[in-house]
Structures are given as C-alpha cells and as structure tokens.
Amino acid sequence: MPRIVNVPPTLLALALATSAAQAQRPADSPTVAYVTNEGSRTVSVIDLASRRVVATIPMGARPRGLHLSPDGRRLYVALSDDRPNVQGGDDAIAEIDVATRRIVARHRAGSDPEQFGITPDGRSLIAANEDAGTASLIDLATNRELATLIVGIEPEGVAVSPDGRLAFVTAETSNSVSIVDMAARAVVANLLVDVRPRAAAFSPDGRRAYVSAEIGGTLTVIDVARREAIATIELDGLEGKPVGVVVSPDGSRVYVANGATGRVSVVDARANRVIGSVQVGRRPWGLALSRDGRWLYSANGLSHDVSIVDTQALRTVGRIPVGERPWGVAVH
Amino acid sequence: MLTRRQFLHASGAALLASTRRARAPLRVVVLRESTAGSESMMAGARLGSDEASRAARMFDLPLTVRDAEPWSGGLPRDADVVVGGMTDASCARLSELAESAGVLFLDVGSTDDALRGAACGATTFHVAASEAMHRDARRLAAMGDDARVALWLPTLEAFGAAQLNDRFRQRIGAPMDSAAWAGWFAVKAVSEAYFRARGGDAAAVRAQLVHPDARFDGHKGKPLSFRAWDRQLRQPLYVLGRAGTEPVELPRRGEPGSTWEQLDRLGTRASDSTCHAS
C-alpha cells in the first residue's frame, strides 16, 4: 500500500478507499460483510449499505476463521468437524467464489484449522492446527502443503505481515508467538507474551504487531524488527477476556473485542493506551473494519448478531441479526 | 562512574550468570508416593513435563523434569523444585525440608489448613485447595457438608478445558481428574515462572510465582495466582452433588467484584492468615 504523508486523515481515507476500490472491484459494487456462524454452520452475506443479510451460504461443517483474497474475488473459510484432535473429513479451508457464492475448492490444512492468514500475493495460506501444535503452509494454486511447522502448544491466532515476509502464530498454552519466515518456511523466533494469547494483527506499515491475551486481559505490542514485546496494555480488567484484534487503516488505532464484557477497547497506537470503549453485543470475538476505517463490525457469538460501530462517535449504531453463534467477520 | 574493581565484579557476575543460563537447567522433580491419587498426579505432571520441555526449547531456557521419582522420605537430590505432598504428613515434611534447603516445593495433594497457617513454609506453594477453600465452596454452593469438591473435572469444556481434557486423554489414556490437573498445573506454573524470569534458580522462580502481576492459565476461565500471604493458589472450584446433577462452579459466573475478590471468597483471607513465613 502506498504511504501518503501530510494529507488530512479524511482525504487519506478517501484516497485509500478509492484506490483500493479501483484496483479491486467496480466502483459501484456495494460493500459486503461475510460472517461465519459456528452454530448454524453457514456464512451470512451482509449488504452493508442496507445493513441486511442478502444471502446465506451453507458450509456443511463448523466455520470459524475467514479471510478474503487480496483481490476480493475469493473468500476462504476454515472448517472443522466436531471432533478435535483428529483430522476428519470436514477439516479444511473452503474457498468460495464471491461472485457465485459457491464453494469452488477445499484446501487441506491439517487437523482442526481455526485461524489462518493469506499472503498479500494471494498465493499461499498459513493455518494454525490447534491440537497438533503446528502451522501448515499451503500453496493455494496447487492445493499442496508446502511445510508443516512446529509452533507453540495450542496454536490459535495467525497474522501475515503486510509485505508477506513474516507470519506470527500465537499459542494459547505456551503463551508464545512464533515468528515464521515465509520464504525460508521456518520458525525463526519464539516470543513469550501475556497469558493465553489469541488473535494477532499487524500495523499497516508492518512495524508493529498486536496480540490479545485472553486470560491476561491485555494487548501485547511487539516491535517486529526487534522481535520483542515492547508494551503490555491493560484493556477491560481481568474479566474482559479479549480476543479479536484489528488495526485501523492509518495505523493510529487498535480495536480489541473483550468477549466477556461485550465491549470493544479502543487503543491509541502511538501512546499505547486505551482511549475508550464501546458496548457491542454479547461475546464479541471477530472484528473487521470498513476500508476507510470509519465503521467497525463485531461478530457477537451469544447475541447472534453483528454490531456496527461508528469509530468517530465511538458508539454502536446498529445490529444485524445473523446465524447462530457468529465467530468471525470479514469486510470487502 | 564504576571503579575498575566494580566493573570487573559486574562483568564477572554477568559471565557467571550467562554460563549458568547456558549450562544449568532448572531441575524439577515430581515425587511418586504410595498413596491414592499419586499415579494420577504423576500422569498430569507427565503431560505438564512434555509441554514445559517443548516450551523450554522454544524459549531456549533449559529445564529438566524427573516425573516419577520414588519418595524416600527426604528431599530428592539435585532438585530446584519438588512437586509432591499427596498426604498431610508428606506435605508437612517436604515443606520443612524444602525451606531449610532453599528448594521450592509445590503441594499437589494436602488440604491441611495448618500447613498454610502457623506451620507454613516460606518456599511452599499450594496447588491443592485448602480445607478452608473446600468448606467455603460447599457453603456457597449450598450442597451440604458431604458434597465433593473438585479442582478439575474431565467433563469441563469451556475456556480451553475441552482441549486440555482431550490432550490428557490422548497422552495418558484416562480422564483428567483433580490430582492429574494439580500435577499438570504445578509443572506448568513453575516452568512459566522460570520462562518469565528468563531463566535462573529457585529464588528467581519463587520471585516470579509471588509477583503481584503473575497470572497463570489453568484452563478454568479465570487467571490464577498464588496468594501473597500463604502462597495458596486462588482458583475456581467445582462442587458435585448427587449423581445426575450439574456440578456448581465457584465463583459463579458473573459474580460481583474483581477477579481476585471473587476468588478470595474461597479460603483464608489475608487478615485471618497465621502464616508468617515469607
């Protein structure tokens, strides 16, 4: 993404949104959100202009993590069966053609894939295999497993750096973040972070990574170049149970979903401190932002809906009922 | 401005420290006793040992766990940390021996309040819940004086409990009970304290275990920590009634107060503690 300096934030957001739209889709196509529903085993397709579910895609298995391809034409959804610790027939990353809303491919990604990341070139995918303690690197064109890497115990969150060179894989039991060199296909460092790390996200410039710690109740800030945790930010008390993390397109804010209190913490990324919080639905986990960073969406597992947050006013402006137990949300 | 002598001393100390880090692993010994629950506790410790060894390689901090050493009645040789105490008597003995040797001792079996009170040991940490915690749990659950109190149940699912129960069943071939959980958690807590200290000896690990910011994940949905006044692990408990009834989890979900306030409703409070060893 080109970096633009000395431009007012609104213009910057507009410029980024416009260039992204021109590059990736027709200017008039509506913005769409996709939501994985763990309970009803479906993906809800939401038209964000009308704020309504316009389609429901049956997945035939339990969907959790989801990502759009960089060109926005494909949606990848992690599917598991109900038996952890065994690679069952349903364990896969499903590839959905966004235009037809049909599953067009299934990629094997080890047992019980939950979260994964896609490289910026759209060619490969790295998935965390929770029970195996590994991360699988998959070539999406050939559907081939390029490598299986040993990471921490109970791996969970995955984030690929904006330049595609690194992937961070969190692990809940070992309180670790494994840093994967994607070209070398090897773990090059393991960092100790706060207790029970869940999601990870990079800043747009790739210099920082943010990791939520569910039992620690904090967000760990990692200096990517130094491979070092440089700050641990208290979020919503020990009862907050933070999970989902997203960084604003300009890198100025980090949003963290506190699953147990139903609040999203807003972190100032320069000061590394919480500057506000917004009440959303019950047990928010997955978060996504509109491309201009103006709207934040949370998938609320226990209220079975998606909250829409105005990030300027810092308040919830709407809720969209989806399927049962929504887990994650992705916006295009 | 450092004098030359001070500088040499400091660098010498640094060199010694790095040599120790490179060569001397933290030595954890899990004791086998001929009592009920010991086999199960050791099975838990074995899973804890697998996981701690793997994490030790990841963080490049050496750690050894001897996970089934028959207890001779004394302190095992070449140990920085001892896990055991399946009875009040063995716990009392080990607590005393550990304190005089500067060894850490993690009690995984004794509920004796006296060993957390007037007879407490300065280097003893209690993973097993005290009798006072059991009493409070029964009272708060209102399930009668005969109700069984568990540290862990093989049927727990939330907060990563299903994953832990699955891992144990897969590794050991049996359901994870309270003794197994205690063995697993003792090794986990010690190894995590060691990693957070970035290596070191028993004293460094002890400092981490009692650090006010220390938090441990026992897969019970709340952060766990050791109470400063008697080094008793604060933790949720499960009270079992008659067969076929749901166990009651304490603290109950959504209880008022901070996490530590909720957990400290079970057991001896700081103001009532008679433990003076610190």
Work out the pLDDT band at B128, boundaries 50, 70, 90. very high
Task: Identify the pLDDT of residue A18.
Answer: 41
Pairwise CA distance, residues A133 & B53, whole Å: 14
Does residue B15 have a pLDDT over 60? Answer: no
Residue B13 has pLDDT above 60, yes or no: no
**Residue B50 DSSP class:** H
pLDDT of residue B93: 98
Of A91 and A240, which is predicted with more confidence? Answer: A240
Question: What part of B 54-113 touches A (C-beta under 8 Å)?
Answer: 54-55, 58-59
pLDDT at B254: 86
Per-residue pLDDT averaged across B110-132, rounded?
A: 98
Report yes or no: A162 and A188 within 8 Å, Cβ to Cβ. Answer: no
pLDDT at B5 over 60: no
CB atoms within 10 A of CB B213: 10
- Give residues 163 to 182 of A whose Cβ lies within 8 Å of B: 172-176, 178
Distances (CA, A) of B144 to A7, A119, B112, B121, B245: 69, 58, 20, 32, 14
Tell me the pairing of strands A32-37 and A326-331: antiparallel
C-alpha atoms less than 13 angstroms from C-alpha of B13 in its C-beta half-sphere: 6
Residue A5, pLDDT > 70, answer no
**Is the CB of residue A114 less than 8 Å away from at least one CB of chain B?**
no
Q: Which of residues 165-204 of B touch A (CB under 8 A)?
A: 166-167, 170, 192, 195-196
Q: How high is the pLDDT of residue B18?
A: 46
Give residue A197's identity as a one-letter amino acid code: P
Average pLDDT, chain B: 91
ipTM: 0.88
- Which SS3 state, helix, strand or coil, does residue A15 take? helix
Tell me the C-alpha to C-alpha distance, in Å, between residue A165 and each of A128, A155, B58, B152. Answer: 17, 20, 21, 42
CB-closest option in B51, B223, B259 to A173: B51
Place of tokens 């939501």: A35
For the entire predicted model, the pTM comes to: 0.89
Identify the residue with better confidence: A143 or B231. B231
Distance from CA of A187 to the nearest CA of B (A): 10
Q: Look at residue B3 and tell me whether its pLDDT is greater than 80.
A: no
A12 has a pLDDT exceeding 50:
no
With a cut of 60, say whether residue B37 has pLDDT above it: yes
Chain A touched by B217 (CB under 8 Å): yes
Chain B partners within 8 Å of A190 (Cβ)? 58-59
- The reply to whether residue B223 touches residue A237, judged by beta carbons under 8 angstroms, is no
Across chain B, the runs of DSSP E, i.e. the strands, are: 26-32, 63-70, 81-84, 104-107, 124-126, 148-150, 216-217, 223-226, 233-234, 237-240, 248-250
Residue B37 has which token pair? Answer: 């629950």
Q: Does A58 touch chain B (CB under 8 A)?
A: no
Q: Which two tokens stand for residue A288?
A: 């996504």
Alpha-carbon gap, residue A50 to A320, rounded angstroms: 10
Test A190 with B58 for CB contact under 8 angstroms: yes
Query: Sign of the CA dihedral A274, A275, A281, A284?
Result: negative
Q: How distant is the alpha carbon of residue B238 from its chain centre? A: 18
**DSSP assignment of B115-174:** GGTTT--TTEEE-SPPHHHHHHHHHHHT--TT-EEES--TT--TTTHHHHHHHHHHHHSS
Which residue from A84, A130, A174 is facing B58, i.e. has the nearest CB? A174
Is pLDDT of B20 > 50?
no
Residue B16: the pLDDT is 43
Q: What is the DSSP string of A112-131?
A: SEEEEEE-TTSSEEEEEETT
Residue of B nearest to A194 (CA): B215
**Residue A4: predicted pLDDT:** 36
Nearest to A93 by CA among A80, A84, A83, A106: A106
**Per 3-state DSSP, what percentage of chain A is helix, strand, and coil (rounded to 5)?**
5, 55, 40
| pLDDT tens-place string over residues A151-193 | 999 999 999 999 999 999 999 999 999 999 999 999 999 999 9
Please judge whether B216 and A195 are an interchain contact, meaning their C-beta atoms are less than 8 angstroms apart. yes
Nearest to A192 among B196, B217, B259 (CB): B196
* Subunit contact B160:A175, Cβ cutoff 8 A: no
CB contact under 8 A, A153 and B54: yes
A153 and chain B: CB distance < 8 Å anywhere? yes
Q: How confident is the model at residue B241 (pLDDT cuts 50, 70, 90)?
A: confident
B53 contacts chain A (CB < 8 A): no
Contact B55 A85 (CB under 8 A): no
Mean pLDDT value of segment A292-320: 97
CA distance A184 to A165: 9
C-alpha–C-alpha distance, residues A201 and A208, integer Å: 9
Residue B234: partners with Cβ closer than 8 Å, 6 or more residues away: B224, B225, B226, B227, B260, B263, B264, B266, B267
A232 touches chain B (CB under 8 A): no
Structure tokens at A135: 């991360």
Lowest mean pLDDT among A191-200, A264-273, A281-290, B17-26: B17-26
For testing contact with chain A, the best of B49, B54, B57, B165 (most A CBs within 10 A): B54
Nearest chain A CA: its distance from B194 CA (Å): 12
pLDDT of B22 higher than 70: no
Angle, alpha carbons A138-A141-A142 (nearest 5°): 70
Q: Does A130 touch chain B (CB under 8 A)?
A: yes
Res. B50: pLDDT tops 60: yes
Instruction: Indicate if the pLDDT at residue B7 is higher than 50.
Output: no
Provide mean pLDDT across the span A53-73. Answer: 96
Percent of chain B with pLDDT over 70: 92
pLDDT at residue B214 is higher than 90: yes
Mean pLDDT to the nearest integer, B188-214: 96
pLDDT interval class at A82 (50, 70, 90): low
| Residue among A46, A49, A104 at smallest CA distance from A77 | A104
Q: Check CB contact under 8 Å for A131 and B58.
A: no
Mutate which: B49, B51, B163, vs A, most A CBs within 10 A = B163
Rounded to an integer, the average pLDDT of B49-53 is 97
* pLDDT score of B14 more than 50: no
Is B223's CB within 8 Å of A190's CB? no
| Reported confidence tier of residue B23, pLDDT bands at 50, 70, 90 | low
